[in-house]
Amino acid sequence: MKNKKSGGLFKYFSPAIALLLSMGISPTNAQPTFPEKPVRIVVPFPPGGGTDLVVRALAAGMATELGQSVIIENKSGAGTVIGTDFVAKSPADGYTLLVGTFAFAVNPSLLAKLPFDTNKAFAPVVLISRSPNVLVVRADSPYKSVQDVIRAAQANPGKLTYASQGNGTSAHLAAELFNALAKINITHIPYKGASPALTDIVGGQVDLMFATSAGATPLLESGRLRALAVTTPERSTAFPALPTMIEAGVPEYQATSWYGLYAPAGTPSTAIARLNAAATKVSQAEAFKSRVSGEGLVISTGTPKELDDFMLGEQTRWARVIQAAGIKAN
């Protein structure tokens, strides 16, 4: 009789609620499906750069996978600290994400004080990709190989110069790693941005630069720059003929630009898993790869822990370089 009475009650409920009751779940306690509203990704750089291009391509695909809009917000300034701090202090609900890059790993060693603890304020979501910097010289430079540069630097310590887009940037630290591993002394000439730095490389005011793939590619294609090597431990699909720095005779050399997604610490694991799955599927798709092919990206998705392990390794590597070279932020 009890079963009949219970069964009779179900006819007064919708099929969905009846199913929940049959499972012993109260409709008022049912967990909502993430996401229920738009997700925003904070890019801690100005619009229009390589990071912005990659993230906008990713966001377009993620919106389809998540069934919600994915909005890009550019919050630049203070060497990415402004945008990063904004996310650190955002609600831990999965709806506000940060694009972590090279700066995310080096800022704890580069800056005396941060308004957040990098290793405690964020939850890793997924490593999207890695890409090389490219050692470039002007097209008519006498240096045609990495060994040419090393021999010239050994013969004239401090005479050769390298450009960067500013202190603590990937171009700066990649060159300081070169100095340390090759046991040479090439002088740093910092600029306020990659564009003026590359202009002076082309013009011959500076000898070389470990430029980003995105910055170097147009000038390489136009014949105004010559590339000597890539900084990643494996060859780049964007520059398949170029040797790595290791192949060019600098053992243990490795410098990588990268893109990863982070959420505020305490974000539910279910939300992180959903975001990880969506970003992974999008970044593995040909549509995404074709949109960012000029960046020389190596797609590197994986688990949140794999991103965490990668970033901690980057922190350790660059902390040594920053300390040894006495590098300070601008």
pLDDT of residue 31: 55
At 220-275, the pLDDT tens digits run: 999 999 999 999 998 888 899 999 999 999 999 999 889 999 999 999 999 999 99
Sign of the Cα torsion 312, 265, 44, 128 reads positive
Of the candidates 90, 138, 133, the one whose C-alpha atom is nearest the C-alpha of residue 233 is 133
Residue 166's region, left for phi above 0, alpha for psi from -120 to 50, else beta, is left
pLDDT band (50, 70, 90) for residue 5: very low
pLDDT of residue 131: 87
At 175-195, the pLDDT tens digits run: 999 999 999 999 999 988 888
Domain boundaries, the chain: 39-131+257-325, 132-230
At 97-151, the pLDDT tens digits run: 999 999 999 999 999 899 999 999 999 999 998 889 999 999 999 999 999 999 9
- CATH number, domain 39-131+257-325: 3.40.190.150
Give the type of residue at 142.
P
Say if 39-131+257-325 and 132-230 have the same CATH topology: yes
Q: Would you tell me which CATH number, out of the four given (3.40.50.300, 3.40.50.970, 3.40.50.11540, 3.40.190.10), belongs to the domain 132-230? A: 3.40.190.10
Torsion angle in degrees (nearest 10) through CA of 303, 308, 309, 315: 150
Looking at 10-24, 43-57, 123-137, 301-315, which range is the least confident one?
Answer: 10-24
Q: Average pLDDT of the chain?
A: 88
Of the candidates 254, 263, 246, the one whose C-alpha atom is nearest the C-alpha of residue 304 is 263
Q: What is the percent of the chain with per-residue pLDDT over 70, rounded to a whole number?
A: 89
As a whole number of angstroms, the distance between CA 130 and CA 294 comes to 13
Give the 3-state secondary structure of residue 14. coil
pLDDT of residue 54: 87
pTM of structure? 0.82
90 phi and psi angles, rounded to 5 deg: -85, 160
Task: Give me the count of residues in the chain.
Answer: 330
Mean of the pLDDT values across residues 270-295?
A: 89
Residue 251's region, left for phi above 0, alpha for psi from -120 to 50, else beta, is beta
